[in-house]
Structure 1
Amino acid sequence: MNTKRLYIATIVSICLILVVSMFAVIPKADAATTNLKVTANALNIRSMPNTSSKVLLSVKKNTTVTKLSKSGNWYQVKYKNVKGWASAKYLKTVTPTVSTASLTSKIVTSKTDNLNIRQTNSAASKSLGKLNKGKTATYIQQKNGWVKIKTASITGWVNATYVTISNKNSTASKPKITNAKENLYFVVNANSLSVRSEPSSSSKKLDYVYKNESLQISRIASNGWVEVTYQTGKKGWVSGKYGTQKVKEPTTSSITVVVPEETTYYYVTERTGLTMRDNYSASAESLGQDVPFETKVQILKQASNGWIYVSYNDVEGWINGSTYYGFASTADISFTASVPSKTQYFVMKSSTLNVRSLPTTAAPSLGKVSKGNFFKVLRVSNNNWVEVQYNSKQKGWISANTTSSKITTKKPTTTVSDSVKGSLAGIKIVIDPGHGRQDSGASGNGVVEKTLNLKAAKAIQTAIENVDGTVYMTRTTDNQFLTLDERAGYAKQKGANAFISVHHNSGPSSATGYESYYSTSARVSSAKFAEAIHEGIKDAIKEEYPSYSDRKLKKVDYYVVRYNSVVSVLLELGFVSNSSDAKLVNSDHYRETVAEGVVNGLLAYYGRD
């Protein structure tokens, strides 16, 4: 009996030893499977976790295999239908990827064609592809004015200025829009009605229209909104429930009356003053009140025939707002003037200056005076302008704030010269508004350089054309773009005489002022040309902005001036990174001042002054 029990116990012990030995050889399975990538040029998969075992197959570099388990420095893996062992030092764990689309509920829509998708969030980085207007992509993240997106084939960054971001699951449906019938007009019934950018009360407000205004309808939305022309060349949407639609324009009056978009003043330069009337017509009844010479009145309403509604001396009425009798300006101009105690003479020493209807650069120019002209001083203003008898019939004001002139009590030895009205007839100038389309340039304090450049360039274009010069623009909208090569070669293409590139600067928030550049390595010498333009701008700015910093004319080999075929200059008109500069350079007054300076410089350079 004892012998039998001993035999059974021995058999059981042997079995337990065999089982334990078996588990010592079989590795412990991992809790989860993982994908591994082969890092060797070729990796053997073997029958056991050692180099002496049989090779089942060999896999190439970058092949992905599935991890089943681990034993020491070996992984048990599966590749296709084969299971085996491979050395762990030649396998790298593949980080699982998560679909971006599953992580975001937003989409990005391009507002422009050919929007660059860049490698990093920088305009200087490599373009990976384009996103056209209306096309969408998956939103990933937003950083420093850039949006990271994913299309079907590209992941990269786009400038946030040119896209809209919306929710994928947005169910808001847009109203159906159809074209209106011809001669369909909308007559406003409300006292004032908002004009908006889209047919929705939540869209951007563009302006107001007022009771009884008759506005042509161009399109109608299914939600009751109508698109109207509310100013020349401007369209917007108004709610149809606040007006009446009529076929053919109402014939009650062909003259429309509007309220100015912003506070605007009218300055009377007619020496006899202007009579106030009870309607916008010279035949209307006089109210017995005149608005005197050199008086400032706020424009309360404007009629389309040029008459303006104002208040003066507690009387409200209409006066003729023609530029023949004065000028309108958003600038709040005030001045005092006195007759000098001794006879004085204003003498032009150099350059060219404007003669204006009032002592400010906001006033229209009556003509120009230049070197050799001199006049008896009639009055001196508190901002250091002098009134002179500009010609036999007309008086005008000239700034005495520049180095171009002097005031003396010594009477000139010759008679007063007639003023010279310069002309650039026959001179062709290329104006290059820097940047454009996808290249916005610098930005800050609510302004974007490409837009500022275009506005300043157009002001210069107008000023040159006003003295009969010819202007070629490298771009006329913010959606156009030329490469540096194309810009530099534009003057040769057009047969132009000179090239002016217009820019705005960026730097530390304390940086301020304007400056100009020319190249010493250019094909032609531009030193004298650039100096004439810079001096013209400096004198013009000093008239109205005597404290604004002149950062001087500098020699720098910027591409568009270095590789130009004609005399050229690059202008930096102020810093968008400085809040005060940004406000200044974004004003029409400043742009017009710069434009006059450019013209004066051109007149001096070409001997037309």
Structure 2
Amino acid sequence: MPRNKMVPIILCFMLILGSLPALESARADNGSVSITATSLNVRTGPGLSYPVSGSVKKGEKFSIVKEEGDWIQISLGGSKKGWVAQWFTSKEAAKTAASPAVSQNTKASGNVTVNSLRVRKGPGTNHQVIGSFNSGQAVEILGFNGNWAEVRTNNIRGWVSKEYISVKETKAAEAPPASAKTSGTVTATSLNVREKPSLNSGKIGQLSYGAAVTVHSQSNGWAEITFAGKSAWVSAEYLKISGKPVAGSGKVPTPVDQFTGTVTASQLNVRDKNSLDGSVIGSVSKGQSFKILDEQNNWVKIEYKHGKTGWAAGWFFDKKKNGPVAAPSESVKNSRVSMLHNGTNIRKGPSTSTAVIFRANQGDSFEIISVEKDWYKIVLPNGASGFVAGWIVSVQGTAPQIERPGAEKHTKNKTIVIDPGHGGRDNGTTGVRGTLEKTLTLKTAQLLYDKLRAAGTNVILTRNNDHYISLGSRVSSSNYHNADAFISIHYDSINDRTVRGMTTYYYNSKQKPLGEQIHSSVISKTMLKDRGTRFGDYHVIRENKQAAVLLELGYLSNPAEEMLVNTPQYQESVANGIFEGLARYFKNN
């Protein structure tokens, strides 16, 4: 090579070497990512709408410049940068500061970053608003699912958009030794027993309704029991824990103060647990009086029939103790409502048939005087009082959040088996960019599981981790639980990379209505190409005695659709579509 041609090459090497310290500095500041897709497009901006400027390969590592939503800007050397989809990368934390995460060995907490952040009953905007947080509110973070975080405070537990929560991590304090064991009774039809207190932990058995257990300790919604001679865990939500000591424990129960409550509502439901999620097991009428056996979270436990006890909303009782009557408005003391919409009607009485006397806008806040039927009586700016419908506002304070049943009323108490396709040694199909079908089906199933469970549905997952489950076992789970619906979740593939869209399969006429309702609902939510509802000879629906369908929720063989179905926005839409399709099916059948 001639000497004069070497000069520019040497200059290029000097420039490259000169840039290396800056590259290392960027990596130290923000961490780095490794590419997990076989070939991944690099774009000029953070979104699929931006032009492709190049591509990177599986295993290549790049320093992170910055992040925006689900996109990461990476350094491609020198001053060149580009954006890649976060879901096709593996992130490595910066060495200077570990990224906070929720794990079994840590306790995660966070703070709300905006005012009037709505708290919902489940992970999705289709779920009832049960309260709200203001900026700076501290919360305990129980976990994440898609775009949603499950959080808890002393007063409320629900789901919020994780975008508006700043996460911090602290080591969990050692749980104090249990001073006594307590007894519990299983309230679910079938309760999974797990090795550890996590839904991701392996299942080692099941307990049936009414089974008695000894509870050794409780932690973050889980109860420690002994199963088959070993320590194990079950969800405390499905245990009725007596609070009485097991024989020989030496613990003496605290006496309950003696109150009598008189019902103030014309007809009041009695439920099997102290929340609106509880099943209705009876009712009481206005003017009836009952001895209050227990009181938790503004709910009272009463003996509504001879030998039968249940929970009723405490704000519909006048309480008496040794003569004096507690103020009826005690449960709404220091509580306020905030408007969720502009132009909200405030009426003269607790009914839509009464006159509108004031209109409020989103964010306006009013003090609550009392709760009447499904309405809040509030103080208006001029000092007068008015009524606002409880299902169109959020509540701050101790007052109850009133619900108006939506789609969840049709799925409540139904038994749904969700079957995430493939798992373990069976990867299913692999997308052109490396997506494993088994991973994506589980992601969709877990989000749908949380949505249905929040609506009071009895939900069973055929698998909740990366384990192989035989087709026969999947069908057996449906038949054993006498499922009202069985949904097998899959993603499709074909040699033609231009093919895209969703297909729903059924095997017999009994299954067809379920397939049609879910299919149309998912198509309307996701706007995927509609490939129809059709007959399919698949084992999990052919051998199923229950109403069962198999969903193919997009083509991983289509590069654009593979990227789409991996996004949190798509996962949210498809889970909402299945949820609402189920509600329509049960409403009509």
TM-score by length of 1: 0.35
Larger CA Rg, structure 1 vs 2: 1
